[in-house]
Amino acid sequence: MSVLKVRTTKRTSFVNITHMVKEEVKKSGVKSGLCLIYVPHTTCAVFINEGADPDVIRDISYALERLIPWSDPNYAHAEGNSAAHIRSSIIGNSRVVPIEDGELTLGTWESIFLAEFDGPRERKIIIKVIPC
């Protein structure tokens, strides 16, 4: 198991962590298996989507803001970051990617992103490479 750290710079940000995950898979030496990517935080998430066109990430951010606005007078959570918790819950805090021939089996345009919803902060990313 590896624990990586990423420092985010804004309240809401998306960090492409694909290169970091690929490096951990390479270091593991596993040729066939699974790679678990997990973030142990309640106000950030991890997801896979297109990494080639930055407009995709902008659109995701825009849609999340419209669906789950940062402030709402009906939120009850006293810390004032209810939107971050809701967004994280919807997207999820883990992903599993198959490994074949020592490589992640991501699609041509796919990248792995850390989604920060309550930054800036330092976040942990747990990578577990499981041989199969």
Which pLDDT tens digit goes with each residue over 98-116? 999 999 999 999 999 999 9
Cβ contact 113:57 at 8 Å: yes
The predicted model scores a pTM of 0.96
- For residue 36, what pLDDT is reported? 98
Which pLDDT tens digit goes with each residue over 3-25? 999 999 999 999 999 999 999 99
Which pLDDT tens digit goes with each residue over 48-105? 999 999 999 999 999 999 999 999 999 999 899 999 999 999 999 999 999 999 999 9
Q: CATH no. for residue 42?
A: 2.60.120.460
- For residue 111, what pLDDT is reported? 98
Domains held by the chain: number: 1
Q: Angle at CA 38, nearest 5°, toward 58 and 81? A: 55
Q: Which domain holds residue 61?
A: 2-131
